[in-house]
Amino acid sequence: MDEQLRHELGRQGIFVTTLEELYNWGRKNSLWPLGFGLACCAIEMIATSMARFDLARFGAEVFRPSPRQADLMIVAGTVTKKMAPQVVRLYNQMAEPKYVIAMGACAISGGPFKQGYNVLKGIDRYLPVDVHIPGCPPRPEALLDAFMALQQKIAQQSLTGEHRPRHLRADVPGEFPVPVFGAHDLQPPSNPQVWSAPQMRRGEGA
């Protein structure tokens, strides 16, 4: 539908929408996060859900204690290698459609503990992260910003066609391989489906 015509109709008090938009509107305003925190970022996440920052404005205040009822995973904090299998398994247990926000420097890269032998260098090695938030820890405003970015992402997802999201495609599996906590490292060290090591190319300008 022509955007101009739609705007004009809207000014006349006629609301026009599509099934797809209605569906996405409902989904983006009822994201239910999984209630779990891994480290200090979780405190900021809790603060975000409280009255001062009020995550409820975005329909996401219902932190679920069970992955069966949640569709958003906020990885808030340092993911140790011992914890990573559990995080991936929880993600697998969540119902589709599901999204991941990697909150804070640790969750996106290992952060200040990146050199640690026991720290996973970013949860995006195993899970398809939708929004990364930098910061140590990010302030609640940053989490809200990530929420809004995720909402925009959901609003733009198409219901049919080649580029429809994963949860609408029967051929794409909803589970990701759970790494095994081995003697020296997680096995495998990353999931090549979702992550590949960034290629350094020398001689090219930044």
Partner 1 sequence: MTSEQGPYLFLTLLGVAALLFALTPLALAWLWARVFSPAKPGLDKNSIYECGLESKGDAWVPFRSEYYLYAIIFLVLDVETLFLMPFAVSFSGLSTGAVLAMLVFLLLLVEGLVWAWGKGVLNWK
- Decide: is 86 part of the binding site for partner 1 (CB under 8 A): yes
Q: Which stretch binds partner 1 (CB under 8 A): 84-92, 115-123, 150-158, 192-200?
A: 84-92
- Decide: is 68 part of the binding site for partner 1 (CB under 8 A): yes
Rounded Cα distance, 163 and 190, in Å: 25
Rounded Cα distance, 142 and 137, in Å: 10
- Residues in contact with partner 1, shown as a per-residue x/- string from 175 to 194 under the rule CB under 8 A: x--x----------------
Query: Is the omega angle on the peptide bond into residue 192 within 30 degrees of 0, that is, cis?
Result: no
Q: Which stretch binds partner 1 (CB under 8 A): 1-9, 45-53, 87-95, 150-158?
A: 87-95
Q: Which of residues 97-156 bind partner 1 (CB under 8 A)?
A: 97
Query: CB of 79: closest distance to partner 1 in angstroms?
Result: 12
- Decide: is 93 part of the binding site for partner 1 (CB under 8 A): yes
Using alpha carbons, select from 4, 10, 22 the residue that is nearest to residue 157: 22
Query: CB of 144: closest distance to partner 1 in angstroms?
Result: 27
Query: CB of 104: closest distance to partner 1 in angstroms?
Result: 20
Rounded Cα distance, 148 and 154, in Å: 10
Tokens describing residue 87: 């995080």
φ and ψ at 191, to 5 degrees?
Answer: -100, 110
